[in-house]
Amino acid sequence: MLSRVHHSVLLGITGACAVLWMCAPLPSARAVETQSPRPSVAEDFPIASGVRIAGDDKQTRFILDLDHKIDVRAFTLNNPYRVVLDIPQVTFNLPTGVGGSGRGLIRAFRYGLVMPGGSRMVFDLTGPAKIEKAYAMEAANDQPARLVLELSAVEPSAFKASSVSSAGSGDLNQLRPAILADADANPAVPDTTGMTKAMTPTDSRLVVVIDPGHGGIDNGTQAPSGEAEKSLVLDFALALRDRIEKSGKYRVVMTRSDDTFIPLGDRVKIARNNMAALFVSIHADALPKKEGDAQGATIYTLSDKASDAEAEKLAEAENKADAIAGVNLTEEPADVADILIDLTQRETRTFSNRFARMLANEMKSVARMHKHPLKSAGFRVLKAHDVPSVLVELGYVSNRDDLQHLVSESWRSRTVGSVAQAVDAFLGKRVVSANPPSN
List residues binding Zn ion (CB under 5 A): 17, 213, 220, 283
Query: Phi and psi at residue 84, in whole multiples of 5°?
Result: -120, 135
For Zn ion, which is the closer residue by CB, 88 or 224? Answer: 224
For Zn ion, which is the closer residue by CB, 98 or 262? Answer: 262
Shortest distance, position 294 Cβ to Zn ion, whole Å: 15
For Zn ion, which is the closer residue by CB, 17 or 83? Answer: 17
Q: Can you state the angle between helices 309-318 and 2-11, rounded to 10 degrees?
A: 110
- Nearest residue to the partner Zn ion, using Cβ: 283
For Zn ion, which is the closer residue by CB, 166 or 298? Answer: 298
Residues 6+ apart with CB under 8 A from 328: 77, 78, 161, 181, 182, 183, 185, 187
For Zn ion, which is the closer residue by CB, 176 or 230? Answer: 230
Choose among 397, 406, 389: nearest CA to 3. Answer: 397
- What is the spatial distance between Cα 10 and Cα 120, in angstroms, rounded to a whole number? 16
- What is the spatial distance between Cα 232 and Cα 282, in angstroms, rounded to a whole number? 9
Q: Which amino acid is at 75?
A: F
By the 8 A CB rule, do 223 and 211 touch?
no
Shortest distance, position 352 Cβ to Zn ion, whole Å: 18
Q: How many residues are recorded in the chain?
A: 439
By the 8 A CB rule, do 280 and 211 touch?
yes
The C-alpha angle with vertex 203 and arms to 351 and 349, in degrees rounded to 5, equals: 10
For Zn ion, which is the closer residue by CB, 225 or 350? Answer: 225
- What is the spatial distance between Cα 124 and Cα 88, in angstroms, rounded to a whole number? 21
Shortest distance, position 318 Cβ to Zn ion, whole Å: 5
